Amino acid sequence: MTNSTRCACGSIQNYTECCQLFHDGTHFPITAEALMRSRYSAYVLQNSDYLLATWHKTTRPIQLDFSEDNTTWQKLEILHTKKGGAKDDKGRVEFNAYMLDGETRLTMHEISRFKKIAGRWFYVDGVLN
């Protein structure tokens, strides 16, 4: 992904005007959905620092290792959001993430939970179904 490329999160903006602002730490997502999108594009970019920094401390893994990862993320589709707005401190985002694992097409359907602490959103956990 180069600077003039559309952001992988599915917005119609360039990366530099979209999730890069969050990945750089110059801006923080205002909504749970924006955090969700920025985490998806961080997965696309294998930006483990950002993923860990936006993971709630109670559920955060010690590290993320992408060295053996064969996933090619193709598309994020937000299906539904519940709360997670600028004035909320909790939110849920239901989404489909489309990916290739090697040659195999997979769809990940998840409802993710988010919490806001001191004005910043964090990913808590997700239910796959």
What per-residue string of b and e applies to 88-120 under the rule 16 or more CB within 10 Å gives b? eeebbbbbebebeeeeeeeeeebbbbbbbeeee
What string marks each residue from 5 to 24 as x (binds Zn ion by CB under 5 A) or -? --x-x-x------xx-----
- Alpha-carbon distances of 74 from 15, 47, 66, 104, rounded to whole Å: 16, 16, 17, 12
The least CB distance from residue 104 to Zn ion, in Å, is: 26
> Taking CB under 5 A as the criterion, which residues in 48-67 touch Zn ion?
none
What is d(CA 7, CA 73) in angstroms, rounded to the nearest whole number?
Answer: 13
Q: Can you tell me whether residue 66 is helix, strand or coil? A: coil
Residue 35 is a binding residue for Zn ion (CB under 5 A): no
The least CB distance from residue 58 to Zn ion, in Å, is: 26
The least CB distance from residue 30 to Zn ion, in Å, is: 13
| Closest by CA position to 113, among listed 82, 70, 75, 85 | 82
> Closer to Zn ion at the Cβ: 40 or 68?
40
> Closer to Zn ion at the Cβ: 18 or 36?
18
Of the ranges 23-31, 34-42, 74-82, 90-98, which one interacts with Zn ion (CB under 5 A)?
34-42
| Site residues for Zn ion per CB under 5 A | 7, 9, 11, 18-19, 41
